[in-house]
Structure 1
């Protein structure tokens, strides 16, 4: 592992091999074909797993590796190499312990065979699983090409004069770092037409920059969640979506793979567009295209204010649905119209087209309902109800109308008596 390793591209006509190893610290797996590595995988184990037996750690490594590369392994037979000899009979032995059952069930659905590979022959996986301390030896990062033009400007006579003036200004927040001028830790761009035009083209005309609202929203940093929406959903930063230009790679396999990737992307966009068209067609099946001209007479569909606390209408089935007709005064957008309502009405005169219906001939006008002329709140009771409590005199002269019938709100006072056992 001290020399550089070139990863190979997967060939789905050949079987895949997984070589795994588990130390007391971490697990490591290598996906390969014909002794050529395709991908590496390593993971540090938790303290509970580090304290488990070697048999369990090896099973843990197998399940993690199979889950990691399941997109390559599903539907085809593959081989697993391990230095734990007892795992060779995992598929043929009788499951006796709950641990065996727990890990074996995670491998259901995969077609594989386990082979024993001694530790001395398992050098790659064994070495990567026993790395305790990781050291960062090099770090690479991309840099915009227009940064070079900006550095060249600051090294020129004009740029050097501007830099000196800004740095020596009173209460200056400018800093010069790596040949670039920063203001409050933000890159300062001088008033140079060439540099600013390049900057605008970079963020408005390129594939990554462009005016794509959805892409811009998903890749923008949100202060509320402290990350981008894409990272919140997928747990990683959004990858680059640069289109591949055929012929840029000298490797024929790489060139063919990237061209196929571009074809799938365009096919995906076309399928999404067709799906949107199908959804629109189904949604518009029971809809009609209505258009009215200014001056047309239309009926207006209204629904009375529904409330049950003051007055309960016994029947709503036979109540009116359309009122008018009213004249169309103006078209608002493509789906709304302004109508000429009575001046004393208290509802907004703009309505969606689905509430309107064309009036033909000489229709009989239907006035608006009462709720359209009142404030938008629940009406109050007209009579204030009051309740009186009092005893009825039994010696009162009997008349044709009883006191209760004469005063329906009066009712006899109730005499509450305690049971004899509670009087004491």
Structure 2
């Protein structure tokens, strides 16, 4: 948002930060259906147009105000719970339950930040292994029997582990009629 506000004058970001914050706090949030200003201050802020005409003052009792504010907060809570339930439902569609037992073989996804500088190459394998699971710390963390030469901790998140499936042991044979090239060099 700040990038859009500063446009061709990026060095003026500190002068425009207040405007960006005001704009963000005035916008209606898709999860709550209200702006942050209306949630915190019970009303939207006055804009230049609002200040031209002074609002009429009506005296209301404190109990009416409290009831209105409480009902608004309950409405916001309900909308947030509904929105979170929708997000969870979408996320659960692609989620699979995985777990490993000690002794299971796993492949480890290699991440650059896990290894000391200079030891990771973009061209190296994306997964290493197979290595045995030593123990489960919790449903998301496992200790792997990782060789010492990797110079990294042997505890991994389940997101970086994949079950090892050995390669197929079937014998593959090609006959000369199956290949496109001939023995004589393509003549």
TM-score (norm 1): 0.22
Which has more radius of gyration? 1
